[in-house]
Amino acid sequence: MRGDRKRNWDAVYTSRHCPTGDAEATPSPSYLTATTERWAYLAREEVHSPELYDLRRDPGQQQNVASDHPLVVNRLQRSTVTFLRNQGAAETYIDRYTENP
């Protein structure tokens, strides 16, 4: 079959959790990402600020441009929270991503 291949996704989500030793005393930091055709986004969480990389201009993800694109950051943050809810994550976990910075 020939022709243009259409993508079947808007974003790909990944996560990595880093245990701190005492999970009840200190929540483990996690790194939840959303990657689109243009952007790589590290979601804002209570323990770290958001990071945003323009994959067209910076495929090596060296220049965090989150402060230059607040609308993209907000959209991808909301998308990340929606993804977590759709996957059945506990609201106490999701709260880490919905608190204001």
**CATH for 92:** 3.30.1120.10
Identify whether 69 is part of a domain: yes
Identify whether 47 is part of a domain: yes
From first to last of the 101 residues of the chain, give the pLDDT tens digit. 555 655 567 889 888 766 655 555 455 557 889 999 999 999 988 778 999 999 999 999 999 999 999 999 999 999 999 998 999 988 988 888 886 55
Q: Which domain holds residue 75?
A: 12-98
Cα–Cα distance, 34 to 41 (Å, whole number): 5
Q: Is the pTM of this model over 0.75?
A: yes
Identify whether 25 is part of a domain: yes
Cα–Cα distance, 20 to 37 (Å, whole number): 33
Identify whether 20 is part of a domain: yes
- Output phi, psi for 34, to 5 deg: -130, 125
Identify whether 72 is part of a domain: yes
Domains in the chain, number: 1
Identify whether 3 is part of a domain: no
Cα–Cα distance, 45 to 93 (Å, whole number): 10
Classify the phi-psi angles of 44: left when phi > 0, otherwise alpha if psi is within -120 to 50, otherwise beta.
beta
- What's the pLDDT at 96? 84
